[in-house]
Chains A and B, each alone.
Chain A
Amino acid sequence: MLDDFFIRAVLAGLGVAAVAGPLGSFVVWRRMAYFGDSTAHAAILGVAVSLAFNASIYAGTMLVALAMALAVSVLATRGQAMDTVLGVLSHSALAVGLVAISFVPQARSDLSAYLFGDILAVGRGDLALIWAGAAGVLALLAWRWQRLLTASVNEELAMAAGIDPRVERLILSVALAVVVALSIRVVGSLLISALLIVPAAAARGLSRTPEWMAGNATLIASFAVLAGLSASLHLDTPAGPSIVSAAAVIFALSQAFRRG
């Protein structure tokens, strides 16, 4: 069954969708959309570095994304004009990454695979990594769930309960870096944060508790993966953008039917 490229693509997409729901919910709750963008854009630089040093693309993007996430976290604690700082970092990371990748001959040809994903080319090894990584991040989020949630609701309340908000922020940064690395083959650097944010935003209006929102976001992301991949197969559209477009349609519908 795994011999079929389409089945592998579906399974890779569902693996990312499983973790995009809960992690994307935290990105929405903590208003980290730009944060997600900067981290994901940094992945292009990670690709350039990995190719230049002949290293695994997953390891390279994860390390660079993690470095970016930590840099942004440090800036966030300084706390002024965050949207500007993040806007600067996000687009600079992308630009520097594109410049860096132009020095790596073998990457120039399939640049668009890194920008927009190449889910139909996912192999068995990729699939194993994606599912192992997704399971790891889900386990991490499940383990820290109550703490992460309390720190997201109110840092003072979290501190009063003996929770250090900085630790929880760090955990989310690590989780984000891992998911960025997993997703680069699936939707590509430019659309990773869309896959995190759009399903979670669509789930917001349909959910009464954080857990329902995380679960609904995963369902919506999974549905978007299936719909986007079928569209891609039948209409010969690019897979990653088709997945995000499907999620966007669900978001639009969720807004139309939202109560209140």
Chain B
Amino acid sequence: MSALIEAQGLTILRPGSHDTVLQDVDFRIDPQEIVTVVGPNGSGKSSLIRALLGHMPLAAGRVTRRAGLRIGYVPQRVQVDTTIPMTVRRFLSLPRRVPDEVAARVLTRTGVEGVEARQLTQLSGGQFQRVLLARALLHDPHLLVLDEPTQGLDQPGIVAFYQLIAEVRRQSGAAVLMVSHDLLVVMRASDRVICLNGHICCEGTPRHVSSAPEYRALFGAGSEGTLALYQHHHDHDHDAACLHPHDHAGAS
């Protein structure tokens, strides 16, 4: 089974400086896999995604995408300017025009059937994310790439959105690469979790990751665990297989 995307030794610099955003990152995603990337703000999650998509120059390393790979992409924080009048239907035909029945089909698949005539700016946050997902599904992608797709959604909205992604994966067989803050919800659905903080600090199945006592100490219970992740500072070694106690003063 050949990888959809494979990367070796990725190093990315912050634009206009010599600070590294990512250093020496190896990555691979196989067909039908769900891989989730987690990490604190500024840990290079979005940079990793953009580098894998070829949107960002590499300082070192290389990215190999399988020939003919079709990717459906939902970027972070898409906001369509209110000065652009845009119906959902028109948006789905950017940049490639699609027939009405194809548009209707993807909207139905993502649970927002019948919104074609609505303006993008009139949609709720959840509806808009579903329209973005529908757009990403248009051309039968082998891989869905979702960068924090649930930002701005409330808790029930987040759970529903991940159920939808799992459902879409089941139907289409597409692999899913996701960046997320919603650790506890996301990890259960993932085949593999990558914890990123400028480099890969830990990687494995959710079970493997979550069975580590260090992991429990860090992500233990509910939002408290999530809070700990935001505050974990990296100035320590990474020889252990997975997470180990971090200095996260203030997380209690």
Contacts and interface: CB of A to CB of B under 8 A. Distances in A.
Nearest to B72: A160
Interface in B3-53: 50, 53
A210 B95 contact: no
Nearest to B76: A156
A209 B86 contact: yes
A106 to B, nearest CB: 42
Contact of B85 (A31, A160, A161, A213): A213
Nearest to B55: A159
Contacts of A160: 53, 55, 71, 73, 75
For B55, B84, B96, B135, which residue has the most chain A Cβ atoms within 10 angstroms?
A: B84
Contact of A161 (B83, B84, B87, B95): B95
A210 B78 contact: no
Given A161-B95, A210-B85, A154 B80 contact: yes
Contacts of A146: 94-97
Interface in B54-89: 55, 71, 73, 75-76, 78, 80-81, 83-87
A153 B83 contact: no
A53 interface: no
B119 interface: yes
Nearest to A209: B90
A147 interface: yes
A90 B140 CA distance: 47
Contacts, number: 66
B128 interface: no
Given A29-B81, A156-B75, A147 B95 contact: yes
A147 B75 CA distance: 18
Nearest to B139: A161
B73 A204 contact: no
Contacts of A158: 95
B53 A159 contact: yes
A231 interface: no
Contacts of A207: 85
Given A146-B94, A150-B94, A157 B85 contact: no
Interface string A18-29: 000000000011
A208 B94 contact: no
Contacts of B83: 28-29, 31, 204
B36 to A, nearest CB: 20
A152 interface: yes
A103 interface: no
**Interface size band for A:** 20 to 34
Interface residues of B, number: 24
A163 B95 contact: yes
Nearest to A78: B16
Interface in A157-202: 157-161, 163
A230 B165 CA distance: 60
B91 interface: yes
A149 B95 contact: yes
A30 B81 CA distance: 8
For B55, B97, B135, which residue has the most chain A Cβ atoms within 10 angstroms?
A: B55
Given A157-B73, A208-B87, A210-B90, A150 B55 contact: no
Contacts of B75: 154, 156-157, 160
Contact of A209 (B53, B76, B87): B87
B136 to A, nearest CB: 9
Nearest to B147: A156
Contacts of A209: 85-87, 90
Contacts of A213: 85
B98 to A, nearest CB: 12
B55 A210 contact: no
A204 to B, nearest CB: 6
B26 to A, nearest CB: 23
28 contacts: A29-B81, A147-B95, A150-B94, A152-B81, A153-B80, A153-B84, A153-B86, A153-B94, A154-B75, A154-B80, A156-B55, A156-B73, A156-B75, A156-B76, A157-B73, A157-B94, A159-B55, A160-B75, A161-B95, A161-B96, A207-B85, A208-B85, A208-B87, A209-B85, A209-B87, A210-B84, A210-B86, A213-B85
Interface of A: 28-31, 146-147, 149-150, 152-154, 156-161, 163, 204, 207-210, 212-213
Given A30-B81, A209-B86, A210-B90, 11 more contacts: A31-B83, A146-B97, A149-B94, A150-B94, A152-B81, A153-B94, A154-B80, A156-B78, A158-B95, A160-B73, A160-B75
